Structure 1
Amino acid sequence: VANNTAALVRNSCYANKTDLRSYVDGDQIISHYAVYTFGFDNDPVSGHAGNNANRQGNKTILEEATRAGGGNKEGRDQFYDASVEGTTLQEALNSAITDILTRAASGTSVSVLSTSSRGVGSMVQAYFLPERKEGTREVAWTGYLQNIWVDPQDNLRDDSGGPAPPDYKLMLDSAGSSDGDAVMKLYFNSTTNQTEAGLFTTFADGSGGSLSACSDPPRKAFDMITTLWEAGRKLATTDPDSRTIYTSTRVIRETSSGTVDLFDRLAPGDLFTLSSLIEEQEAALNIPASGATSGDPSAFNRANIVDYIRGKDLEATHPEDFRDRRVTLDGSNKPEVWKLGDIMGSTPKVISNMPLNSYQRIYNDTTYYRYTSSSAYRERSSLALVGANDGMLHAFRVGYLKDDNLQGGIKAVFHALSSEDQDPSGTSRLGEEVWAYVPLNAFPYLKYLAHKNYGSCHMYYNDLSVKVLDVSTGGHADEPKAADGSSWETILIGGMRFGGACAGPGAEPSGPPTGTPADVGYSSYFALNITDLENPVPLWEFSDEDMGYSTSLPAIVRTGEGDTNGYWYVVFGSGSTVLAKSTTDVGRTTTGHVYFLDLRTGDLEQKIPLDHHAIVGDVLAVDNDFDFHSEKVYFGTSYRDADAGAWKGKLMSVALPNQDLGRDSWAPSSPGYTVLFEGNYPFTASPEATKDEAGTVWVYAGSGKYYSDLDEEDRSQQIFIGLKDDGGAVSYPVREGDTAPVSCDDPPSCPSGSLCDTTNCTTTGTVTATIDVCDYDKMDNTFKKKTIVTAVDSTSTAPVPETGWKTYLAQGERVISRPLAVGGLIDFLTYIPSTDACAFGGDAFLYSLGYVSGVAPEIVAIRAPGATSGTSGTVTIQKAVPLGPGAPPTGDAIIIPPQKEGREQLKKKIQVGTGVVVETENKPVISTTSKIILWLKK
């Protein structure tokens, strides 16, 4: 064996990572397990003790092969050792066989955290498991949504204090009282390939204890932390008949023949029950009418599919017909149907009693102040809104957070409904599903969720993050807003992302399943009025034959005079017409478009054609002049070069007049858009924009794509740019060739009309201040104090670009999340997928650059280990720091809790795919407390 080390490990890896029988459904792989039986000779008299070195080498080889071949067990030894006593052989073999059953169902045995969002004093996380083992059964694609305390110092807290946790009370004194809640630091253990939490104590003021000492803490597996609630478990115990599930009341399909308006006669209260559905909706389920009346309870008939989607336990009586979703919860012998599907691409959005927008502050809008100050708004019980691949958009109860007039060291407490809800039993409603919504275009695919073989495949349904805003759409656009605030409403925009199907040349798959009624089953966007959070009103659902998949996160645009209700629009772009799969890339062979929909009605007002086969990324709308008028929308695009086959992209904008943008009122001048930048770089993430101190608008964008396994193998170099949007001074489009390298000497110079290449520019300084922080050391698998630099005296000079700057990323590194401009910094996340099939995931990085210079700022912006080349003397300030393994989410990935009074630093929470919430502090270049530059982004 010793002479074949590489072969054994390599073959174990290959067999575990390769589908050995591609003609059989699902991945057919081999997991390598080893039981070591040779032992060691500790008797020097026997003359065989010298063989111990060889035996140790063989044991190491077997361990490496087991690790590479997927046979290592969660949190335990890498393989099964029966070398100590012969009597342990049977136990080791039994353990290995048991683990084979578990591992075959648990896949990577890592809970994949796909999204995050922060509510007031708590953080809501979503993750999913591809497979969950229940005895000898496999339960596929289970979703989870959990709520975690965030203390006044922005630390995560485990709600483990008190006699019967969780107790829904935040107490910081975990060092001096058993009622206190421990600080959690999440990290990824590369030995066990799982996310874990280190638990630290503090005193009542949030300091001291083991957190200050940084002593090695007790640890928990990620799925064992004590959360306030977990919605998947709560929904599993919910009676299916008690659920409130809405569906669409108006469905719009735009075709070359005109507008098809489906089901516009439905009442707002239509629910997803067979008795409530009209004939056309039943037909959209794409189940033959004969099946609906067959009388066979095990048949795939309409009644049973609706019941299955609602969560009824049909698999218990007919396991041969329906996919089994039943799990056994702790403390119960009764299996429950796990109703919440995987949450993969949709970031949960927490809606509370805090104003969603800042109109009252930016525009001095007293009508909005009265709306958000009304008792109905202020007494809202917070909801978490998230899309899942079970067909539904879900609304889960986060609860009402009370953080004043509390006694006994309690910093905050959650009530279920309102500040007046003092009934302790009311906490049983925390985490409950308040309502759900199924778009009509998902109907034809619901039956596949019930199919027995669904566990070996996967489909998307409601996979786009939601957009929620307060808008004044309760009156005519030209009329003054109601003085009492009654013309304001809260509107949700959602989408299916890669759910549904699309049409047109090159579409793959080419349309909905056979038998689906015309104009149904296409990827769509939808809107709900959620002014009353407990009782939503579906407004519309929209698809277009040229749209492709609804992957573009939309922007909300307002035009019109500031004292009127104004015109409100939803803006998004065309998507891929090819469904991304493991070995299938996205693509589009037809002209791309930008869409403007009337926000209230869903009517198509503008459809602006672009000059290429554009897959449009997330869209950003900005109000440059703070006059309640969105002057521009920005977006990036990606497309494949028809000749070379390489991916390219453009950074684009559309200028908007301050008027009705309806098709009868506005005809965009040709071409209707501006190309700001173009090059051999696909732009899929949202751009970012801000103003510098001179009032000039800067636009930022990073390139890269990450849709399929093909993207993991892509090592092409990507770019991040900062570009002035100043048509009077810059000739557009700026191309990569229109650039001048900067020498980075002192002082650097950047000619006008060029993008400065700041890739190799460094920022240096002499260390003047340091502090010690408690940090996880992955090499030693322990927590320890590390010294970080907090201040330097600068010894370098930053460039001053006149047009903009660019910085090239490392090979394979890409941007898939929206950047964040704040305090004179532009922060963005990058990801480098691993090319090693036997390694776990890839690595994420946080960059922090000066927003006008494109280099690391002269202050130490990132307060984290590794942010400087050393901790004393003259050091280089790094542009980026590593965040660890796992991809960051798409969309808004950098979450900033509200800044504390008098505190300069911004503490940022960044969630990566392993489940770790990385926490970093930034020191803004420009004060965000004494000088706030207001900027409306929708």
Structure 2
Amino acid sequence: MIYTVDNSNSLIEFTVSNLANFQSFLGTDVSEFPACLINGNTINYTNLVNYIRGQDIPGCRSRKVNSSGDVWKLADIIYSSPKIAYYKDQNGKLIHGVIFTASNDGMLHAFEAGKVESLTGSYVAKLTGTNLGKELWAFIPKHALPYLRYLADPNYCHLYIHDLAPYLINVDYDNDGTQEIVLIGGLRLGGGCSCSGTNCVNPPPDTCKNNSSCVGLSEYYALDVTDINNPKLLWEFTNPNLGFTYSGPAYIKRKDSAGNWKYFVLFASGPTSYDGYTSQNLHIFVLDLTTGNLLLDKDLGQNFSNSFGGRLFNNGLDVNEDGQTDYVFLGYSRKVGNATAKGGVLKIWTGDTNPNNWDFDETLLSFANNPVVAPIVAGKCFNKWFLYFGTGRYFYKTDDDQSQNALYGVPFLCDENNNCPTGTINPVHAATQNLACQNIADKTQGAWMIDLDLGNTIYLKERNISDPSISNNIVFFTTTQPTADLCGFGGQTRAWALNCATGDPAFSQRCPGFTV
């Protein structure tokens, strides 16, 4: 079954019989449709729906993959790393898993994953269940609908339509005593933006005549997938200042004075062009998780002009471990000059149930010529909180104008009430200075950084554009150096396993008391 959104913003099956409920979202300008979807001067919406559902339509881009006439239905999956949700019975026993991923056919796909029987005795782990890999259903967001026509064009090359990794949240948002599974999705570089100028990708004009009724914008959405056979659309979100939905969500939960939980999602505005730039100020949006109501649209002003937020995809930091989110950390990229990008890290204190009372620290960390677009990961390091991140970006072939990039480990010293001391960052593994062991325990001296490779005629500068992680006092990074050959592809990658407190190789014994 394939779902989409109708004129009343409800889920409906994407079928020919339901065309009247979503046809206007597919486009009305005959010149924007390939010839295979036109009869005379009339758009053949039936052929479009059937093509998207997997039929091979004569004259359209062929779906056949062999001489037997078998068709290929699934489009490319680029950024949307699959996520798995686990479904249990009322006794907590695992029934099966479901894999969610988005592809550039415009759909979020749900696939049966079965369940894993773990190692026991002499037996090996194995995947069990029926219909493994079967697609259970798919969902086409409303703002992806205007782009489906281009998939049928015989000259189609590639178009981002639905490319954000899904994010799963387990939460009892309706207070019924049972946790629901909420999926936050988005289009990433799919859709268009409400902006003008050179750094702007706009939606098709036949579905976006004005901002108030525009269809075809980059969007976020929330689905309740607790009942896997009956998904529910909770909301869809767009905004003229949103840009591309690049950041993904941060999930925030707070408890009010009466003990009632409040649940929020936070997004940052994204770039408005495929090369990772924007002419807009950086905006922070906070929504009610359940309703999608916009509670805060924070314009960070001229200090963040031509800026967009890096990736989030986290639950923030609960610094005193009382179950409530205290902070969210956001990297950003700001265009300066023709193509140079600077950036830094924002600290957002979320210690109130009213987002209008949250504090936005714009000066936590800033870099003159280094953007931060990958997530900032907060983790315990020898029982102290640290922030881990790296600098760099890569949106187009020659995206190399930033200064030398680096990896960072920074102690986070603030309490749950936003009381924060200050400190310094020390270079490590550099010719000039090493982090002294006696400084590690000093709250104001324990930060470290590692310079990355400057590049050469073969490779561009080394950069961090993937998610760091931390486990058992080891922090992991993956850095990349794209090829410098304009006609080449690929590059080289390094995997890092570092002592979380010192930045030394993971199993270095240099600093007693801080060894893994």
TM class by smaller structure = 0.7 to 0.9
Counterpart pick for 2:71 among 291, 316, 337: 337
State the distance in 2 between where 1:345 and 1:535 align: 26
- Are 1:271 and 2:9 an aligned pair? no
Letter of the structure 2 residue corresponding to residue 285 of structure 1: L
Partner of 2:343: 649
Contact 1:705–1:814 (CA under 8 A) maintained in structure 2 = yes
- CA change 1:645–1:310 in 2 (3 A) is closer
Identity score, percent? 31
Q: Deviations over 1:557-613 (max 9, x none)?
A: 1111599561111111000011x2xxxx22111211111111111111111222303
Q: Return the alpha-carbon distance in structure 1 between the equivalents of residues 164 and 260 of structure 2.
A: 28
Cα distance in structure 1, aligned partners of 2:328 and 2:438: 30
**1:276-425 equivalence runs, <5 A:** 276-279=18-21, 281-287=22-28, 296=39, 300-314=43-57, 318=58, 321-328=59-66, 334-353=68-87, 374-375=90-91, 378-403=93-118, 410-416=123-129
Which among 675, 683, 705 is matched to residue 393 of structure 2?
705
Partner residue, 1:458 = 158
Contact 1:762 1:856 in 2 (8 A): no
What is the CA-CA distance between 1:694 and the residue it aligns to? 5.7
Deviation at 1:756, TM superposition (A): 0.8
2:458 match? none
**Cα distance in 1 between the residues matched to 2:438 and 2:462:** 24
SS class of match (2:55): coil
1:631 lines up with 2:309 in the alignment: no
Which residue of 245, 266, 276 corresponds with 1:550?
A: 245
Whether contact under 8 Å (2:478, 2:495) holds in the other structure is yes
Measure, in 1, the Cα distance between the counterparts of 2:95 and 2:354.
33
Question: Which residue is equivalent to 2:366?
Answer: 678
Q: 2:490 aligns with which of 837, 841, 847?
A: 841
SS at 2:155's partner residue?
Answer: helix
SS at match of 2:317: strand
What is the distance in 1 between the residues matched to 2:84 and 2:257? 28
- Tell me the equivalent position of 1:609: 299
The answer to whether the Cα contact below 8 Å between 2:103 and 2:163 also exists between their aligned partners in 1 is yes
Report matched runs for 1:781-860 at 5 Å.
800=440, 802-803=444-445, 804-811=447-454, 812-837=461-486, 841-859=490-508
- Label 1:715 to 1:288 Cα distance change in 2 as closer, same or farther (>3 A): closer
2:457 aligned partner: none
SS of residue matched to 1:652: strand
Q: Counterparts in 2 of 1:714-725, with a 5 A limit?
A: 714=401, 716-725=403-412
Contact persistence 1:556–1:570 (CA under 8 A):
yes
Q: Structure 2: how far apart are the matches of 1:562 and 1:401?
A: 43
Cα distance change, pair 797–430 in 1 and its aligned pair in 2 (3 A): same
CA deviation after TM superposition for structure 1 residue 338, in Å: 0.4
Change in 2 beyond 3 A, CA 1:304/1:839: closer
CA distances 1:631-684 after superposition (whole Å, capped 9, x unpaired): 010010001124x752100101110124244xxxx4446xx3342110121000
Equivalent AA in structure 2 for residue 717 of structure 1: Q
Residues 834 and 565 of structure 1: CA distance in aligned 2, closer, same or farther (over 3 Å): same
For residues 584-595 of structure 1, the aligned pairs below 5 Å read 585-595=275-285
Shift of 1:853: 1.9
Q: Does structure 2 conserve the Cα–Cα contact (< 8 Å) formed by 1:271 and 1:277?
A: no
Question: SS state of the match for residue 813, structure 1?
Answer: coil
Q: Aligned residue for 1:767? A: none
SS of equivalent to 1:846: strand
Q: Residue type matched to 1:572 in 2?
A: F
Is the radius of gyration larger for structure 1 or structure 2? 1
In structure 2, what is the equivalent of residue 134 of structure 1? none
TM-aligned CA deviation for residue 763 of structure 1: 12
Give the Cα–Cα distance (whole angstroms) in 1 for the partners of residues 287 and 255 of structure 2: 16
Distance of 1:539 and 1:516 partners within structure 2:
23
Question: Among residues 430, 443, 446, which one is paired with 1:760 in the alignment?
Answer: 430
Two-structure CA RMSD over aligned residues (Å): 3.2
The yes-or-no answer on 1:497 pairing with 2:185 is no
2 CA distance for matches of 1:723 and 1:925?
18
Deviates more, 1:333-342 or 1:561-570: 561-570
The 3 A distance-change label for structure 1 pair 716 and 432 is same
Q: Deviations over 1:495-554 (max 9, x none)?
A: 100000001233655521121143210000011100012321122111100010001121
Say whether the 8 Å CA contact 2:397–2:486 is kept in structure 1. no
Q: Helix, strand or coil for the counterpart of 1:544?
A: coil
Runs of at least 5 residues in structure 1 that lack an aligned partner in the other structure:
1-243, 250-261, 354-371, 417-425, 476-481, 732-752, 765-795, 861-875, 878-923, 927-938
Residue 437 of structure 1 aligns with which residue? 139
- Greater RCO (CA < 8 Å, at least 6 residues apart): 1
Structure 1 residues 437-459: Cα deviation after superposition (integer angstroms, max 9, x where no partner) = 000101111000001100xx210
Shift of 1:382: 1.3
2:218 to 523, 534, 542: 523
The yes-or-no answer on 1:474 pairing with 2:174 is yes
Query: TM-score normalised to the size of structure 1?
Result: 0.49
Q: What is the deviation of 1:687?
A: 0.4
Paired residues of 2:189 and 2:245 also in contact (CA < 8 A): yes
Distance 1:327 1:470, change over 3 A: same
Q: Is the 8 A contact 1:561 1:628 kept in 2?
A: no
Match for 1:503: what amino acid?
S
Normalised to the residue count of structure 2, the TM-score between the two structures is 0.86
Matched residue SS, 1:335? coil
Distance 1:404 1:532 in 2: 29
Give a deviation string over 1:817-849, Cα, whole Å, max 9, x none: 111122222211100112135655211111222
Contact 1:403/1:413 (8 A) holds in 2: yes
Alpha-carbon distance in structure 1 between the residues aligned to 2:503 and 2:258? 39
Structure 1 residues 405 and 297: alpha-carbon distance in aligned structure 2, compared to 1, 3 A threshold: farther
Query: 1:300 Cα deviation (Å)?
Result: 4.6
1:622 Cα shift?
A: 1.3
Q: Does 1:248 align with 2:33?
A: no
Q: 1:858 to 1:445 in 2, by over 3 A?
A: closer
1:269-309 deviation per Cα after TM superposition (whole angstroms, max 9, x unaligned): x1111322444x210100359999x9949975111111110
Contact 2:199-2:277 at 8 Å conserved across structures = no
Q: Distance in 1 between matches of 2:228 and 2:116?
A: 16
Measure, in 2, the Cα distance between the counterparts of 1:570 and 1:598: 7
More helix by share: 1
